């Protein structure tokens, strides 16, 4: 568990991590302190904060976006000159990590 927790921390939590997630200072501090002796709950604060940010910001902006409104209103898609971005990370390293989907329900 220590190796998985350290890999998650190094990849997503620490300052200037390769795929750093948007977390406030307090949440990062809680995780940094708990990472010395990780538990199954070590990243719960980060998970809750990310879900909260998605709910309050990303998801509400998506619901107002042209692409979503076009889709639900059945309008044809507009041609775009923008290239589709590739995924910034993969889950292969963390395939054994189970997410708590109950928070979505």
CATH number at residue 70: 1.10.167.10
Closest CA to 36 of 70, 5, 67: 5
Q: Is residue 49 part of a domain?
A: yes
Is 35 contained in some domain?
A: yes
Reading the block at residue 54, the tokens are 């998605």
Number of domains in the chain: 1
How many residues are present in the chain? 105
How sure is the predictor about 14, in pLDDT bands with cuts at 50, 70 and 90? very high
**98 is a domain residue:** no
Position 29 in a domain: yes
The answer as to whether 83 is a domain residue is no
For the segment 49-103, what is each residue's pLDDT rounded down to a tens digit? 999 999 998 889 999 999 999 999 888 877 666 655 555 555 555 555 555 555 5
pLDDT digits (tens, 9 = 90+) for 79-94: 666 655 555 555 555 5
For residue 45, the enclosing domain spans: 2-76
């Amino acid at each position: 568990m220590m190796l998985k927790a350290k890999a998650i921390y190094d990849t997503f939590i620490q300052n200037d991590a390769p795929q750093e997630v948007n977390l406030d200072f307090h949440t990062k501090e809680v995780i940094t302190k708990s990472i010395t002796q990780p538990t199954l709950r070590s990243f719960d604060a980060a998970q809750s904060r990310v879900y909260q940010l998605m709910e309050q910001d990303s998801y509400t902006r998506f619901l107002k976006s042209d692409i979503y409104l076009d889709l639900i209103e059945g309008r044809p898609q507009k041609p775009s000159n923008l290239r589709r971005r590739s995924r910034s990370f993969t889950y292969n390293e963390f395939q054994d990590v189970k997410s708590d989907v109950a928070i979505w329900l």
